[in-house]
Amino acid sequence: MTQTATLSQRNIISMESLTDTDIDTILDTADSFKEISTRTIKKVPTLRGRTIINLFFEPSTRTRTSFEIAGKRLSADVINISGASSSTVKGESLIDTVKNLEAMNPDILVVRHNCSGAPALITQFFNKPVINAGDGTHEHPSQSLLDLLTIREYKGNLKGLKVAIVGDIAHSRVARSNIHAMQTMGMTVKVIAPPTLIPIDIEHLGVDVCHDLTNGIRDADVIMILRIQMERQNQGLLSSLREYSNYFCLTEEHLSNVSDETLIIHPGPVNRGIEISLDVMEGSRSLILNQVTNGVAIRMALFYLLLGESDANSN
């Protein structure tokens, strides 16, 4: 009699591999989880006795904290391992690290790695669910899911919305995840950036390309601003940060021709004044902090939905 919710995947590696039903299931579940974080006692016993390992080979505040809080609000034990403090600095291979962690019987592994494909590789050596928390320039599925949840909350539904993604598309795993997910959900995506920050052949992903910010955002329902990744900018792709800002920093002036209903989102961390101006960032259309709140609910939903599969495999 009880309706059930299941995902087609036992690992969350990419948005490309999720169906629209999967995405709806995750968003609906996350929507129900939001209330828990508003309680005085922000904890439910659902994952009591379960162990979640956060294995992060790249710096992160938001994502790692968000996964940790999500696990703890479900009563799981959460262990954080950062690349700098792990045995990989002693020369242990990624696969050996994962096999050793597996020998301690965790229930879910959350992985961030600077190499695209690392989480997918890990699934071959780890028999419990793996969640990709960002791999190289490939994908960052939980970020895309929280973006979709935030947009859906304000727009009612996703189908038919026009999204403009502005910034370093070439290096952005957030852009890649969202391009796949948004098209799965029936949205249209336009990417806006200087030619050097747009991958060759991106049209094959079904997106429009534009090199002018003012024109590009005119009909957008949602503007997603991406961070200029300082750590990846020594390749001569931009002549200078200031020049990038002159042409691509989103300011109130750009928004004067844009509908008041248009939402502005940014996956963080923000370089204030470089890709987005201070007044836009803190303005009424900006949902940057709502995204962070929704991130916890999305990650609680992923843990909840993936738990069943891990049981089936161990029993």
Binding residues (CB under 8 A) for another protein: these are 1-6, 28-29, 31-33, 35-36, 39-41, 43-46, 74, 301, 304-305, 307-309, 311-312
Triad 58, 43, 126: Cα angle to 5° = 40
What is the smallest separation between the CB atom of 40 and another protein, expressed in angstroms?
8
Query: CA distances (Å), 266 to each of 36, 132, 211, 213, 255, in order?
Result: 25, 19, 19, 16, 16
Closest separation in Å from C-beta 24 to another protein: 11
If the CB atoms of residues 175 and 301 are measured against another protein, the closer one turns out to be 301
Least Å distance, CB 35 to another protein, is 5
Please, are residues 144 and 179 in contact by the beta-carbon 8 Å criterion? no
Q: How far is the CB of 66 from another protein (least distance, A)?
A: 19
Alpha helices in 86-138 (DSSP H): 94-102, 118-123
134-137 CB contacts, 8 Å cutoff, 24+ apart: 134/58, 134/60, 134/63, 134/173, 135/111, 135/173, 136/173, 137/170, 137/171, 137/172, 137/173, 137/176
Task: Report yes or no: 266 and 121 within 8 Å, Cβ to Cβ.
Answer: no
Least Å distance, CB 10 to another protein, is 11
Nearest to 140 by CA among 185, 170, 115, 175: 175
- Distance of alpha carbon 307 from alpha carbon 315, whole angstroms: 13
- Judge whether 144 and 181 are in contact, CB under 8 Å: yes
Query: Which tokens in the block code for residue 49?
Result: 């006795």
Between 156 and 195, whose beta carbon lies closer to another protein? 156
The CB-of-73 to another protein minimum distance in angstroms stands at 10
Using a 10 angstrom Cβ sphere, with 0-12 exposed, 13-18 middle and 19 or more buried, the burial of residue 253 is: exposed
**To the nearest whole angstrom, how small is the minimum distance from the Cβ of residue 88 to another protein?**
33
Do the beta carbons of residue 147 and residue 292 sit within 8 Å?
Answer: no
**Residue 304: CB minimum distance to another protein, A:** 6
Which of helix, strand or coil describes residue 266? coil
Of 172 and 294, the one with the shorter C-beta distance to another protein is 294
CB of 32 or CB of 196, closer to another protein: 32
